[in-house]
Amino acid sequence: MAGRAAAEGIRKAIALVNSVADEAGDEEITPTEIAEAIRDCLELSEVDEVPNVRRYLGEALDAVSDGMPADFVAMTLYAALGALREGTPH
C-alpha cells in the first residue's frame, strides 16, 4: 500500500507528541526525539507523492523547534496524516 511507511512514521510522531501532552509515562520525551521522528518521515519519498504532506511535516518540525505546545504540533501532524490518506489511492 502506497504511503504505508509515511503513515506509520506520522503515527509514531503523533504518539510521541500525545504522550508529552498527556504527561504519561515515566520516561521524559524531549523535543529532539519528536523532531527526529518528524525528520524520519521527511526522509521518505512517499511524502512527495501526495500534495501538502511535506508542507505539514515541515510546519510540525518548525513548531517543535519554536517550542509550540504539543497540541499544536499534534494538530499539524494529524493534518499531514489526513492529507496522506486523502491522496493515497484506496
Predicted structure pTM score? 0.88
pLDDT > 50? residue 1: no
| Structure confidence at residue 28 (pLDDT) | 82
Each domain of the chain, given as residue ranges in start order, spans 4-22+29-87
Locate 58 and state its grid cell: 515541515
Picking from 3-12, 16-25, 61-70, which range would have the lowest pLDDT averaged per residue? Answer: 16-25
Q: pLDDT for 21-70, tens place per residue?
A: 776 554 688 899 999 999 999 999 999 999 999 999 999 999 999 999 99
Q: What is the pLDDT of residue 45?
A: 92
